[in-house]
Structure 1
Amino acid sequence: MGKLEGKVAVITGGAGGIGNGMARAMAKEGAKLAIVDLNEEAGNETLKQLQDIQPDSIFIQANLAEHEKLNNIIDEVVGQFGKLDILVNNAHASRNMSFAETTKKELDLSFDTGFYPTFYLMQAALPYLKETKGKVINFASGAGINGDANQASYAAAKEAIRAISRVSANEWGPFGINVNLISPIAKSPGMEAWAEEHPDYYEAMLKKIPMRRVGDIEKDIGRVAVFLASEDSDYMTGQTMMVDGGSIMLR
């Protein structure tokens, strides 16, 4: 039996990149999956891949910026599978620009697609996570921890997600619910496109990674997500897991 046999997991942004890698890793460990994504074509393609591994997988097409509809995602998953064990808040959109140029438009995009969906989906999932003593996996970023240039809106939303993750870890610990974060560096399609456009910056980034490579979305990020979703992490909560090859070493 896999580490997640019989568990039900929701992964936002599950149709591509890190979300896809986590979905495949969890499916191979027996999890029943609901992947949520705005991109219907990519979602259906990913669903086909997942169903070859885990037939009990579904795709939910949703715009996470429509906050009033987020409860429907949790309701659909519980209606389909009867419970919820794992909530993975991975989706996030943002635009990079200098602090001085950043406007409310950029802040709204980052918070509307990243922070608020994380917040509201956690609230909607709480009653079901109490029943299963479930797991929440949220996403942080080195951009927020380090304060990377030209990423004001993204960094702000990511650090806000870290803040509510710690608050909920304190409040939800007595219910047996674990809330942790992953801060990754991974070879997603976005990263690959950036590397092609800016090879010099990419090589400079690699030199700053002690492991001298970018993480694999399934083998590196996905496996840590499996750990955080499984009983192996039962005594961990409120922690930020730096899955970045040693780029940032928290103290």
Structure 2
Amino acid sequence: MRLQGKVVLITGGAGGIGRGMALAMAKEGAKLVIVDVNAETGKATEAELQEITEALFIEADLMDRASLPRLVDQTIERFGQLNVLVNNAHASRQHSFMETTEDDLNLSFGTGFYPTFLLMQAAYPHLKKTEGTVINFASGAGIAGNIHQAAYAAAKEAIRGITRVAANEWGVDNINCNLISPIANSPGVQQWKEAQPEAYATMVEKIPLRRLGELEEDIGRVAVFLASDDASYMTGQTLMVDGGAIQLR
């Protein structure tokens, strides 16, 4: 029970990678607060988690910046502390560089970068008390510069930048700030596999481990590690949980 007694807040926690991390952390003893815009899946995931641990679902639109501090407040009201903030939620559209619009940028930054930044600010006083952890999400789209992902790549690299800044500023408070850059077997990827099986097979062939990461067993377990005391001497790092697709130097 590596996370026994810890309280974790996860955005986008009702499905995909967010749900996988929530399940992995719950099984290690954490209490969970999951935030999602989808009430139906949020309540279903909350019920699933409550069979394992204490859990709370909060329905929220992360584009509503003024409401973001309230997510932290509700976590403190329910559980009295916050140990781990996981900024996982992000929405974007894929277009070529020249076809990317200001609306595309606003969507990517509005659901990804700004909620990450503002929730980190709101969570800081509580993470300082618990000597807690921030887990943010990077992407190979930004690191490698994937085509047709200008808006997504820009927001993800901006998140990497502020995570490193916070790691340097908050190290004195014993707050760890790291990133996960995953390739995951998400529902969206499964839909893409069904629609374009040849493109999917080509993508998998380029991954050294020849498979996509499982949501709970692969991505979730790395999140457990970063949230645990085992990662207490790591900060400012990007962990490539992508089967070796990108090998940083």
C-alpha offsets along residues 16-44 of structure 1, whole Å, 9 cap, x if unaligned? 00000000000000000000000000000
- Partner of residue 133 from structure 2, selected from 132, 135, 144: 135
Aligned to 1:22: 21
Aligned to 1:247: 245
C-alpha offsets along residues 98-143 of structure 1, whole Å, 9 cap, x if unaligned? 0000010000000000000000000000000000000000000000
Percentage of identical aligned residues: 64
Aligned to 1:152: 150
The answer to whether the aligner puts 1:39 opposite 2:38 as a matched pair is yes
SS in 2 for 1:138: strand
SS in 2 for 1:88: strand
Tell me the TM-score normalized by structure 1: 0.99
SS in 2 for 1:145: helix
The answer to whether the aligner puts 1:214 opposite 2:212 as a matched pair is yes
- Partner of residue 172 from structure 2, selected from 165, 171, 174: 174
Aligned to 1:114: 112
Can you give the 5+ residue segments of structure 1 that lack an aligned partner in the other structure?
Answer: none
SS in 2 for 1:96: coil
SS in 1 for 2:99: coil
SS in 1 for 2:95: coil
Partner Cα separation in structure 2 for residue 199 and residue 155 of structure 1? 24
Kindly report which structure 2 residues correspond to 1:176-191, keeping only aligned pairs within 5 A, or say none: 176-191=174-189
Q: How many residues align?
A: 249
Partner Cα separation in structure 1 for residue 142 and residue 40 of structure 2? 31
The answer to whether the aligner puts 1:83 opposite 2:87 as a matched pair is no
User: Which amino acid in the other structure matches residue 62 of structure 1?
Assistant: A
SS in 1 for 2:10: strand
Give the drift of 1:221: 0.1
Q: CA RMSD in A?
A: 0.4
Give the drift of 1:94: 0.2
SS in 2 for 1:241: strand
Give the drift of 1:197: 1.0
User: Which amino acid in the other structure matches residue 175 of structure 2?
Assistant: I
C-alpha offsets along residues 35-70 of structure 1, whole Å, 9 cap, x if unaligned? 00000000000011101111x100000000000100
Give the drift of 1:195: 1.0
Aligned to 1:6: 5
User: Which amino acid in the other structure matches residue 110 of structure 2?
Assistant: D
Partner Cα separation in structure 1 for residue 47 and residue 185 of structure 2? 22
Partner Cα separation in structure 1 for residue 8 and residue 113 of structure 2? 20
C-alpha offsets along residues 178-225 of structure 1, whole Å, 9 cap, x if unaligned? 000000001110110111111111101111000000110000000000
Aligned to 1:231: 229
